[in-house]
Amino acid sequence: MAEALRIGIAGLGTVGASAMRVLAGKAAELTRQCGRDLVVTAVSARDRSRDRGIELGAAEWFDDPVDMARTADIDVFVELIGGDEGPAHACVKAALEAGRHVVTANKALLAKHGVALAEIAESKGVLLNYEAAVAGGIPIIKTMREAMAGNTVSRVFGILNGTCNYILTRMEAEGLSFDECLKDAQRLGYAEADPTFDIEGHDTAHKLAILTSLAFGCRISADDIYMEGISNISQADIQAAGELGYRIKLLGVAQQTESGIEQRVHPTMVPTASVIAQVHGVTNAVAVETDILGELLLSGPGAGGNATASAVVGDIADIAKSRPGFQHGPVFGRPARELNPYRKARMRSHEGGYFIRLTVHDRVGVFAAVAKRMADNEISLESIVQRAPKSMNGTKKTVILVTHATTEAAVRKAVEGVTKDGHLVDKPQVIRIERAD
Q: Can you tell me the distance from the alpha carbon of 141 to that of 175, in angstroms, rounded to the nearest whole number?
A: 36
Binding positions: 10-17, 107, 192
Task: Quick: pLDDT tens for 319-359.
Answer: 999 876 566 789 999 999 999 999 998 877 787 899 999 99
Instruction: Report the share of the chain in percent with pLDDT over 90.
Output: 76
pLDDT at position 1 is 66
CB 249 within 8 A of CB 287: no
- Could you tell me what percent of the chain has a pLDDT over 70? 97
Q: What CATH superfamily is the domain 5-137+305-336?
A: NAD(P)-binding Rossmann-like Domain (3.40.50.720)
How many CA atoms are closer than 13 Å to the CA of 181, on its beta-carbon side? 25
195, 163 contact by CB (below 8 A)? yes
Is pLDDT at 123 greater than 60 in this prediction? yes
- How far CA 246 is from CA of 77, 269, 272, 412, 423, in Å, comes to 45, 6, 5, 22, 27
Binding residue numbers for NADPH: 107
354-433, what's its fold? Alpha-Beta Plaits (3.30.70)
Are the beta carbons of 270 and 245 closer than 8 angstroms? no
Alpha-carbon gap, residue 358 to 143, rounded angstroms: 43
Catalytic (active site) residue 396: no
Q: How far apart are CA 315 and CA 9, in angstroms?
A: 13
**Residues 390-403, mean pLDDT to the nearest whole number:** 77
How far apart (Å, rounded) are the C-alpha atoms in residues 199 and 182? 9
Res 389 pLDDT > 80: no
pLDDT, mean over the chain: 91
pLDDT at position 385, please? 83
End-to-end CA distance of the chain: 49
Task: Indicate if the pLDDT at residue 197 is higher than 70.
Answer: yes
Q: Of 126, 105, 91, 52, which is closest to residue 314 (Cα–Cα)?
A: 105
Distance CA 13, CA 95 (A): 20
Cα(144)–Cα(123) distance, rounded to whole angstroms? 22
All residues at 6 or more sequence positions from 362 whose CB lies less than 8 Å from its CB, including other chains? 388, 392, 394, 395, 396, 397
Cβ-Cβ contacts under 8 Å for 118 (sequence gap 6 or more): 128, 330, 331, 332, 336
pLDDT for 162-195, tens place per residue? 999 999 999 999 999 999 999 998 888 888 888 9
For residue 54, the SS3 value is: coil
Question: What would the pLDDT profile of 98-120 be if each residue is shown by its tens digit?
Answer: 999 999 999 999 999 999 999 99
* Residue ranges of domains in the chain: 5-137+305-336, 141-301, 354-433
CA 419 distance to own-chain centroid: 33
Right CATH for 141-301 from 1.10.8.50, 1.10.390.10, 3.30.460.20, 3.30.360.10: 3.30.360.10
CA dihedral (63, 64, 69, 74) in degrees, to 10, reads -10
Summary count for the chain: helices (H), strands (E): 14, 16
Residue 412 neighbours by CB distance under 10 Å: 14
Q: Which residue out of 112, 207, 249, 397 is catalytically annotated?
A: 207
Q: Maximum CA pair distance of the chain?
A: 84
Q: 192: helix, coil or strand?
A: coil
Model confidence pTM above 0.75: yes
For the annotated binding site for L-homoserine, the residues are 192
The larger pLDDT score, comparing residue 86 to residue 2, is at: 86
Least confident of 17-26, 178-187, 254-263, 385-394: 385-394
Cα 397 to Cα 381: distance, rounded to the nearest angstrom: 19
pLDDT at 325: 59
